[in-house]
Structure 1
Amino acid sequence: MQHIGIIGVGEIGRAIVDGLSDGVDHPPRIHLSPRGARAAAELSARHPNVRVCAGNQEVVNRSDLVIIAVRRPDAADALAGLRVDERTVVVSVMAGIALAELRRILGPGVPLARAIPLPPVRERRCVTVTYPSHPAVDAFFARLGQALPVADEAAFNVMSALTGTLTTHYSFLATLATWAAGHGLDPDEAERYVRGLFGAAGRSLADESRSLQRLAADHETPNGLNERIRTTWFDPTNAETLTKVLDTVLADLD
């Protein structure tokens, strides 16, 4: 598809634009809504294939595939009154808005899908969950890394709940760097080391021949430092707390 529309130019919208445009010989034409005017203007100034439209209806009219990336509370206002041709594919990246609700707003004949793109689409390294599987949608996200279609909306919501753990992970790393600085390390050096330590560890996730449990075991020695911290800090009680909060997040998404 050579004409892509994006309604809602926040972090994910910007990342999609960069992933489709940076270093690409023949990027698609990208049509942005005026929402997030500053970001939209910056993207159109940086990428010659990007233009800002006068309104959301113009985005739809000019596009083969439209990404809806507004915040959940803004969805009704952003989509109200939109007329979508049945040849236009609409992809919602809004968490917590079911396909049935989108159909009520946009009409029953519009091809609809949901997706969970994350910031690594900017580097075309993202595994993007999609539902339902649609050739155009899966091909689109394959351009940005990899598409992972799931069987039903319940599975999609489980994947969506998992994304809620990302900032906890970053805060965990920030706590490690702060602890190290509190013990005399230069704060910049502490943060640089934590980034390098976990960046290197993260690359081992590409080895899909080993399960996550196997990776954890392979990084531990009996009675070693890793085992001591894991069994003392991330004990069964903490694991149960994490499971419970994920359950509450999932309940909100259903």
Structure 2
Amino acid sequence: MVFIGGAGNMAGAVIGGLVGSGYPAERIVATGRNKQKLAEFAARHGVEVSADNVAAVAGADVLVLSVKPQMMKALCQELAEAVSDRKPLVITLAAGIPLAAYQRWLGRGVPIVRAMPNTPALVGAGATGLFAGEGVSAAQKHIAEQMAEAVGIALWVDEEAGIDQVIAVSGSGPAYYFQFMESMIDAAEKAGMSRADAERLTLQTALGAAKLAMASEVDVAQLKRNVMSPNGTTERAIQCFQSGGLPELVAQAMHDCAARAAEMARELDN
């Protein structure tokens, strides 16, 4: 398995997860430009490293592309000859680039999976959306799923447009929670609590709420009601959120996020 740009944060998290879950480190190659960083990465994870993308791809059965979207076209054109000859499974971690673009850049007949991970993958708690293009076998889908599950959970979507919805929910979702946590911390500090105490309580509450929701057999709406007493403190706070239009604002934000993902796909495709 070859990771192009593999010494970066996201690919590094995936590689660390794979090795930690028992995938043989000697079967992984990570490429990058900085030789010192590559040497440090090899020492940390026990994988092979290379500064030569084309040479690394030559014997690959699975190729993971982990570079910025703006760099992807040039990278694919660099690798096109090797990839079109060997036709390895290509898994792309870049947001916004449609399969049609990869097929033009790499050649028809190359099996491609679009993967949309999120930043909690860096701590093994990620959520990754997956979409398989034409020609991806069941065995290759299993490989992509295994890779995603090394750093969290994986979810397949049936249509490529579903990746935009994944971006709106989980790809960009961590930032929504960070925004809400930031607002809670700021409000607590303004009310007189020290910022350190406000941050500690806010982050632990967010962690506890997520763990409770995942462990519970009831949905989050019921869990919310379980915290609320009639005419109590929590009910007053929730009424404030609802009267202020929070549910509608969240829906609009997610709609705009998915719309921007579709726009980026068109821009990057051109």
Do they superpose with TM above 0.5? Answer: yes
For these two proteins, the number of residue pairs brought into alignment is 251
- The one-letter code matched in structure 1 to 2:12 is R
Indicate whether 1:108 and 2:116 are aligned: no
Please point out which of 129, 136, 154 is paired with 1:147.
154
Work out the CA distance in 1 between the residues paired with 2:127 and 2:26: 21
Once residues 36 and 70 of structure 1 are traced to their aligned partners in structure 2, the CA distance between those partners, rounded to angstroms, is: 14
Aligned residue for 1:76? 73
Match among 186, 194, 208 for residue 202 of structure 2: 194
SS at match of 2:109: coil
* Greater fraction of residues in helix: 2
Cα shift at 1:110: 1.0
Partners of 1:56 and 1:175 lie apart in 2 by: 44
RMSD: 2.6
C-alpha distance 179-165 of structure 1, shift in aligned 2 (>3 A): same
* Farther-moved stretch of structure 1 (75-84 vs 131-140): 131-140
Question: Residues 239 and 38 (structure 1 numbering): CA distance in 2 closer, same or farther, change over 3 Å?
Answer: farther
Contact 1:69–1:93, Cα closer than 8 Å, also in 2: yes
Shift of 1:112: 0.3
Counterpart in the other structure of 1:129: 129
Query: Given that residues 17 and 122 in structure 1 are in contact (C-alpha distance below 8 angstroms), is that contact kept between their aligned partners in structure 2?
Result: no
Write out aligned runs for 1:6-21 (5 A). Answer: 6-7=4-5, 9-21=7-19
State the SS of the aligned residue for 1:218.
helix
Cα 1:75/1:26, change in 2 over 3 Å: closer
Residues 25 and 115 from structure 1, CA distance in 2 versus in 1: closer, same or farther, beyond 3 angstroms? closer
User: Structure 2 matches for 1:18-167, cutoff 5 A?
Assistant: 18-22=16-20, 24=22, 26-27=24-25, 29-35=27-33, 39-48=37-46, 50-82=47-79, 83-84=82-83, 85-132=85-132, 134-162=141-169, 163-167=171-175
- State the TM-score, normalizing by the size of structure 2: 0.81
Measured in 2, the distance between the counterparts of 1:250 and 1:25 equals 34
Paired amino acid for 1:56: N
Report the equivalent of 1:249. 257
Q: Flag the 1:137–1:157 CA change in 2: closer, same or farther, 3 A.
A: same
How is 1:177-216 mapped onto 2 (pairs within 5 angstroms)?
177-207=185-215, 209-216=217-224
Q: Residue 96 of structure 1 aligns to which amino acid in structure 2?
A: G
Relative to structure 1, is the Cα distance of residues 127 and 166 closer, same or farther in structure 2, using a 3 angstrom cutoff? Answer: closer
2:249 maps to a residue whose letter is T
CA distance in 1, matches of 2:64, 2:21: 21
CA shift, 1:170, in A, is 0.9
Moved more, 70-79 or 218-227: 218-227
CA–CA distance in 1 between the matches of 2:29 and 2:234? 49
SS of equivalent residue, structure 1 residue 138: helix
Q: Which deviations, in whole Å up to 9, do the C-alpha atoms of 1:103-130 show, x marking residues without a partner?
A: 1111111110011223443454433221
Please tell me the residue identity of whatever aligns with 1:69: S
Distance of 2:4 and 2:213 partners within structure 1: 31
What displacement does 1:25 show?
Answer: 7.6
Superposed CA deviations along residues 151-183 of structure 1, whole A, max 9, x for unmatched, are 111222211122223213112212322332333
Structure 2: runs of 5 or more not aligned: 133-137, 263-270
**Separation of aligned partners in 1, 2:173 and 2:118:** 13
Note the residue ranges of structure 1 that are not aligned, 5 or more in a row: none
Deviates more, 1:23-32 or 1:125-134: 23-32
